[in-house]
Structure 1
Amino acid sequence: NLVYIHLNLYIFFFSVHAMEGEALVVKCPRRYPDRTVKWYHTQTNQLIPAEEGARIHSSGRFLWFLPTSKEDSGNYTCSTVSLMVYPYKQEVCFPAQIRYPNDTGTLTSGRIVCPTIDNYENATIVKWHKDCKPLQEQSEKYLMKEKYLFMKRPQKTDEGYYTCHFTYTHSGNVYNVSATRPFIVDEESSVPVSVKILYPSDVIQVELGICRALLGTGKQNIAVVTWEVNKTKAENLNSSRFREDRQYFMGPDRAYYGEASLNIEEVKEEDLLSFFTCIALNQMEYVMIRVTLQLKVPCNGKVTYITIGILVSLVIIALLVILYCFFRIDIVLFCRGIFKLYKTQDDGKIYDAYVIYPKNRTNEANFVEYFVHQILPEVLENKHGYKLCIYGRDILPGEDAANALERRIQKSRRLIIILTPLLIQCEEYAYEHQIALFSALIQNNIQVILLEMEAIGGYEKLQESLRHIIKQQGTIKWKEKYTECPHASNSKFWKHVRYHMPLRHKSSQLQQAV
């Protein structure tokens, strides 16, 4: 085999030029149907391994450099390949020797093929450059499709060196590759008729889907009419709803036409938001038109069912909003009762509410203390499962009052403050108010429920912090009519109180049960 290779060494010889640091795949120009192709480094006569893990390895007719290094320059034998790797220089984007020859097909067309890209499986074009300057993909001048660059109406000013940059993925690694070739315009042999889309316009109704284009005079070497949906070729769509049919025919005066019909079996709402693009191209240039779909205009004088449905929906939504505003509290309490809503997370709290009320200095019984010690626990604790902390009932004898108050307020989820005229005159428990309002307003870790048990009139004599809370959320007022049946939990007063109470905690229920 070695003798055979050396005998063919000078008969089949070609040169490859590459940039340092890029991936390079070289294809052996000769076919060997009867034997396996092996690659050798000519100077060392070493066999290039067929191991994919190696930076330089071979597989059949292909030789990989992943990536190239300046030291790789030299001669390699399959026929014989001479490789020259050029280092990157800041002022030179590609050496003169690395340019690929002009594609003969580009002399009379605006199409440039990226050189050598077919040697790289699943390569992806990243960008194109002209004379080392990037081309704008959004420009109407250029259309970049797969390995091709199409330009509209090429002129002498479009001549130059075009470089395609693409990425190549091999064994999970991504490599950069670039290739450059010249572009030359031969104005004398250009096609006399420019490509022109005759139909459709930019908006069509959903039944229509034909794109008709004039592609030139006489039979064309390159003539394509096709549809894209959201930048994806219609023929590549996996959906069975879309079907593209094409036909080309000669019209009068030897005018050559192409038609591509896009049929949509079932039009969906998402199609009205999609972009349908008709692309037509020949050797000279390409044109495209972006189409959007719209529903058919209904007959004049008739109101569509869609409009009626929208109006009815808006009326229903408005009624629901109004009902919710008027019956918000009843709806929330109803949902809590039906769905048995509980909070299960452990928030470190023990009590659902801490109760602050003005204490009577005399031994005379009054309604406020009866309300706090009898009615409030009966409704919130016994009927609705909440746990309250009430001074005089839940603070043990011998405890330090100041520390006990502070700890229990911190362990509560709500703060219930009973408002009466006596509260204005009471200074004995000012520390209790101070700690509670500090937690509510400064630390912002507890919500306040204000129960106005007796009419106070103006709130000017109350503490400024209480006046601030009243201004923000108001108070829940106890009225004389509630005295007849104070334990009726369905009264407006108790509904408001329960609405502002927290969701019952399962942990609280367990602690209460224990």
Structure 2
Amino acid sequence: LFPLENCEAYDVMLRHSLVPEGQPLAIKCSLGNNLKSGDYNLTWYKVGNETAVPRDKLSRIHQQKNLIWFLPAMLEDSGDYECIIRNMTSYRKMCTRVTVFERVHGVCLNEKFAVEEVIFTLSSAKVVCPHLDYFRNRKNIQPVRWYKDCQLLEGKRFTFSNSDLIIFNVTVHDRGNYTCETTYTYHGKQYNISRDIILTVEVSPPKIPPEISYPRNNSIEVELGSQVTVDCNTTGADGFEVFWTSNGVYIDYMSRIFASPYEEEVSYDGRPVHSTKLIISEVNSEDYEQPFVCQASNAFGQVASYIILKRRVPDIQRRLTGGLLSLLILTFIALIIYKIFKIDLVLWYRNSVCAFATKEDGKMYDAYVLYTKSSGDRSFYRLETFVHRILPDVLEQQCGYNLFILGRDDLPGEAAVSIADETLKQSRRLMIILESITSSRSRPLEDTSEEQLAVYNALIRDGIKVILIEMDEIEDYTSMPESIRYVKQKHGAIQWKGDFSDKSCSANTRFWKKVCYQMPSRKKVSYSERYLWPLTSNNSAARGS
């Protein structure tokens, strides 16, 4: 009907249409202003299909005037559609894309196909249920229901105007996922319509004068000749209306005192946040007590705040507090070190200082050694080896102490009680060596009169310090004499955990350091004196045998 010799083609891409499966869809082909009714022919096609969309109103997909209707849209309808407009002088072709998506069961909103809308925190705001123009007329005015996060909206803050949602006193908590639902009736058949909306709420800046959070008409202490930087932080001011002044003069960027360009952010309530720095490259005397003023303004008012530089005075209280705190920390560290290395420090102090300052007390022996005597089992020989070989080797030969060991240093025929009484008066310590009472031949300490006398003199008469050494781990002291239990409770015990190897017989081991710590301090002796005691002791032992 229309000649095509002089036709020009105009390709126009229409809006992309999204619709859930089973819901109606209508797309309009826009006409140009130069087209008049009756002067054109408009036909809809699906791209790739040469057959035009039928005009039968009872067809599921049909054309009415310049609209293409899907009643309802099905998944297979997805694709590109074009409308071709012809008249006597022109030829136009417009294209649109239709996407029909499937509703996921149990999910009330499909974010992939949702429409995004933005409102502001005002007294009220409107949320539009989109793309309902062709489904609401005088014959089809069905109510629209609104949901947020699948919950029906109710309450005084929400009202409805036609198909739109009105929210009063909007806050940021109103953001979220919304769904509007209604129905459309065509030729006696009702279709459901739903639209998904992702609502964003942006904060509207309040209409108030700006605020200055710093400075706050305060002062700071600075040193002469130092560099100083002061921030002026404002909220709600116009960017170019934030600046520093001194004596009413604007501070520029080309002097000893200058201001840096402002930095801009956005606050939680939507107002702009600006910050500009006052920089004094070198403080002079005239800068003291001089107010530097930060000024800010916007369309609703102007504010100002100043800062004053003062000379820095020594903070005696802070220095005292810092000194006391440092002293407490050093004291705490020293106590920890002393607790860990207490024995080593005491022994070092004795060897370095007390060795030259020890006063003579007239006593001959550093320790009177007392131990349980038994026979016939392995523990007896172990105890005898420790008392007669290991103990003298370490304490006498390596450490320079002088010991009295009953059975080694007493003379034959002498009364044991008399020896114990006289020797204890000449001794500075009483060393008691215990073994666990497991053998039938073992007997508890204090079975003999000399042992009873020794413990009595140490605890009651002479007040001699007692050193308790366990050859084995003794868990139960109930079978021990009361005096031994008392010593254990008051002074504790040193447990021998070594063997008879050279390493265990070294005075540098922890066990022997603990024993030396309990022993009295010794003065420095000559080389000949140190080796005289073991010789004397051996002679005494020879006489005894």
Task: Give yes or no for TM over 0.5.
Answer: no
Shorter-chain TM range is: 0.3 to 0.5
Q: Larger Cα Rg: Structure 1 or Structure 2?
A: 2
TM-score normalised over the length of structure 1? 0.39
